[in-house]
Chain A
Amino acid sequence: GIQVEQSPPDLILQEGANSTLRCNFSDSVNNLQWFHQNPWGQLINLFYIPSGTKQNGRLSATTVATERYSLLYISSSQTTDSGVYFCGGGSYNQGGKLIFGQGTELSVKP
């Protein structure tokens, strides 16, 4: 089955810094999402991005499907960005279930 690798596993930033999180897939996916799990455990949808580039405020994401990776960019980070970022990928012919990476734990210091 599909395997998902996220990097880096941990990241500490000073408020205002930029960062790039990466997600690699072992096989082609046509269903790909990024999530933020906040310190209270809630999973927040960030992007549904099986291909291309999307932006939402200070966050943007790019997926290069042919090369089996996706990137999440966080600009001008804030302390409220802290938490764990997960990517999940899957295939429509497997019902779209998401296989998740182990996450990147981000800590933004004031």
Chain B
Amino acid sequence: NAGVMQNPRHLVRRRGQEARLRCSPMKGHSHVYWYRQLPEEGLKFMVYLQKENIIDESGMPKERFSAEFPKEGPSILRIQQVVRGDSAAYFCASSPSDFSYEQYFGPGTRLTVT
């Protein structure tokens, strides 16, 4: 059973470009969470999604950030018009169901904005 997959592992963008981060949950998992880790800091919750639904986006910045988890395909975290402060590691985690919230983390995408 493959783990949570994220791609790309490293992403470099110039200021003003768009960044798209992808997350494929573990097989059989229907819940996806995104977290951000700024340099030298802990992990901060961003958004929680189930298939085709955003359940909790209380940790998402109000502008430029969006997330989706379509019926088919991976979950996408999209950052428009990136700024240097967006440079961070973005982790995706998945959990199986409403009856188990144990989360399994992917390897992360390290975004660098130049």
> How many residues on B have C-beta within 8 angstroms of the other chain's C-beta atoms?
24
Q: B88: shortest Cβ distance to chain A, in Å?
A: 11
Of A42, A95, A98, A103, which is in contact with the most chain B CB atoms at under 10 Å from its CB?
Answer: A95
Interface string of A89-103 (1 = CB under 8 A from B): 010101111111111
- Docked-complex contact B91 and A43, CB < 8 angstroms: yes
CB distance from B92 to the nearest CB of A (A): 11
| Of listed B42, B55, B101, B104, residue having the most chain A CB within 10 A | B101
B80 interface contact, C-beta 8 A:
no
Q: Which of B44, B103, B107, B108 has the most CB of A within 10 A?
A: B103
Q: Are B89 and A99 within 8 A (Cβ)?
A: no
Q: Dominant SS at the B interface?
A: strand
Min CB gap A51→B, angstroms? 14
A86 and B43 within 8 A (CB): yes
Return chain A residues, CB-CB under 8 Å to B93: 98
In whole angstroms, how far apart are the Cα atoms of A45 and B104 in the complex?
A: 7
Interface residues of B in 80-113 (CB under 8 A from A): 89, 91, 93, 95, 101-105, 107-108, 110
Interface residues of B (CB under 8 A from A): 31, 33, 35, 41-45, 48, 55-56, 59, 89, 91, 93, 95, 101-105, 107-108, 110
